[in-house]
């Protein structure tokens, strides 16, 4: 008996992935609840492996496979996505299995060659292609930029499962393989966090996918992503609707105030601005960037319509934590925000202009004037901060 066994998820399909309980950083994204690398084994007459796992988890995957079938009996591997969290074990797996064929999208063939300098032939499958492998029928769907240019989905016609690699995934280490077996508050936050931190810059591709899927008339019994739990039943519609909404990035009656502070002045200003927003019935998240991850800030921005940022001046610059967050947020290309900046300073006061430029680069529509306070805000200055919150709230309400 091995330490790891496969889990049957449908008539012919087994989950043979790995659980990474310890992962806390996925290329800059704070994965506070770990993750899973899901691989799937289709046990038809000619077994098929869908994706592999991150390299350190190779043995866990192979043990799970071996609990169902001798690995060398696997005839085909489908690589839906070349990023190393899914392909890291591929060279070792190919060596062990010696599959007859490996399938990937056109860009996937090139990406796998560029990563591993394979001499093995990889077979390209085109968007919409269908393959009969033994008694199993697979359909392929190109999903470029979700999350890399090579990404594709594979649909197993027999078991009505859509293997969606990063699509509809989340970073959540869990032994409960289906979404409805998990705390839905946790699942819904982690799904939003994954979208905000991974898919947000590719929202236009998401919108096209969500429009295209119904036209394909796929009977979706299970959506099986490569990270986190699997979707089935009514939860399939929930994740489709959520992706559609997140990709649209409407204005919502919520504000995110992100700031850091040196001796408390910028923090006091943030609280006064928040009170102004709150008085106009806008929900507010005030996030101190010393103890908040950039990944949570962008997640909160996903259903917000106002973004305000504050920083003291430090050595003629903004605080490093604020710079870090603004760089990360800009890269993820959030849209549709009103907002403003606020800062405190002792002499130079350069932070104000730097913050203003940064918000303009992100595309935030600035409301009224930003507020810059010398040393410690007076009650009159805090009243102006509160008034700024009210102005931003009113501008936001005009957008909704």
Beta bridge partners of 156: 138, 161
Q: Which of 194, 251, 252, 259 is catalytic?
A: 194
CB of 34 to ligand FEO, least distance (A): 14
Please give, one letter per residue, the 3-state secondary structure of 68-100: CCCHHHCCEEECCCCCHHHHCCHHHHHHHHCCC
Comparing CB distances to ligand FEO, the nearer of 30 and 270 is 30
* Alpha-carbon torsion angle 238, 254, 259, 188, nearest 10: -10
CB-based contact 238:291 (threshold 8 Å): no
DSSP state of 255: E
CB of 86 to ligand FEO, least distance (A): 6
To the query of whether residue 142 is one of the catalytic residues in this protein, the response is: no
Comparing CB distances to ligand FEO, the nearer of 194 and 259 is 194
CB of 171 to ligand FEO, least distance (A): 9
CB of 179 to ligand FEO, least distance (A): 18
CB of 202 to ligand FEO, least distance (A): 11
Interacting residues toward ligand FEO by CB under 6 A: 81, 83, 85-86, 147-148, 166, 226-227
Comparing CB distances to ligand FEO, the nearer of 148 and 178 is 148
Beta bridge partners of 255: 284, 306
CA gyration radius, the chain: 24
To the query of whether residue 147 is one of the catalytic residues in this protein, the response is: yes
For the chain, the maximum distance between any two Cα atoms, rounded to a whole number of angstroms, is 77
Q: How far apart are CA 258 and CA 307, in angstroms?
A: 8
To the query of whether residue 86 is one of the catalytic residues in this protein, the response is: no
CB-based closest residue to ligand FEO: 83
To the query of whether residue 83 is one of the catalytic residues in this protein, the response is: yes
Q: Which of 58, 81, 155, 226 is catalytic?
A: 81
Comparing CB distances to ligand FEO, the nearer of 163 and 337 is 163
Comparing CB distances to ligand FEO, the nearer of 116 and 278 is 116
Q: How far apart are CA 88 and CA 156, in angstroms?
A: 24
| Two tokens, residue 110 | 């090139």
Q: Which residues are catalytic?
A: 27, 81, 83, 85, 147, 166, 194, 227
């Amino acid at each position: 008996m091995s330490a790891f066994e496969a889990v049957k998820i449908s008539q012919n399909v087994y989950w043979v992935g790995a659980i990474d309980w310890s992962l806390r950083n996925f290329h800059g994204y704070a994965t506070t609840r770990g993750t899973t690398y899901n691989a799937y084994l289709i046990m038809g007459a000619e077994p098929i492996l869908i994706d592999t796992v991150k390299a350190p988890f190779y043995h866990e995957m192979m043990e799970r496979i071996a609990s169902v079938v001798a690995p060398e009996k696997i005839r085909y591997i489908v690589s839906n996505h070349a990023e190393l969290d899914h392909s890291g074990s591929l060279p070792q797996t190919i060596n062990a299995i010696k599959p007859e064929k490996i399938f990937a999208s056109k860009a996937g063939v090139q990406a796998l060659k560029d990563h591993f300098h394979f001499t093995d032939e990889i077979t390209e499958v085109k968007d919409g292609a269908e393959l009969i492998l033994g008694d199993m029928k697979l359909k392929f769907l190109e999903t470029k930029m979700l999350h890399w240019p090579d990404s594709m989905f594979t649909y197993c016609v027999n078991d009505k499962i859509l293997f969606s690699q990063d699509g509809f995934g989340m970073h959540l280490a869990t032994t409960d393989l289906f979404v409805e077996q998990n705390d839905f508050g946790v699942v819904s936050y982690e799904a939003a966090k994954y979208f905000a931190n991974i898919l947000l810059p590719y929202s236009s591709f998401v919108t096209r996918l969500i429009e295209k899927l119904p036209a394909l008339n796929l009977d979706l019994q299970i959506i099986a992503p490569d990270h986190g739990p699997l979707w089935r039943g009514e939860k399939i519609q929930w994740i489709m609707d959520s992706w559609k909404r997140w990709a649209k990035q409407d204005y919502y009656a919520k504000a995110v105030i992100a700031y850091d502070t040196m001796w408390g002045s910028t923090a006091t200003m943030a609280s006064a601005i928040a009170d102004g927003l709150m008085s106009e019935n806008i929900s507010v998240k005030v996030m101190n960037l010393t103890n908040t991850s950039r990944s949570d800030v962008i997640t909160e921005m996903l259903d917000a319509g106002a973004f305000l940022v504050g920083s003291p001046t430090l050595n003629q610059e903004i605080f490093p934590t604020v710079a870090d967050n603004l760089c990360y947020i800009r890269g993820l290309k959030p849209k549709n925000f009103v907002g403003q900046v606020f800062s405190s300073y002792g002499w130079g006061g350069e932070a104000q202009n730097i913050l203003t430029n940064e918000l303009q680069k992100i595309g935030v529509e600035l409301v009224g004037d930003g507020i810059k306070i010398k040393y410690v805000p007076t009650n009159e200055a805090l009243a102006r901060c509160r008034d700024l919150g009210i102005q931003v709230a009113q501008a936001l309400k005009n957008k909704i």
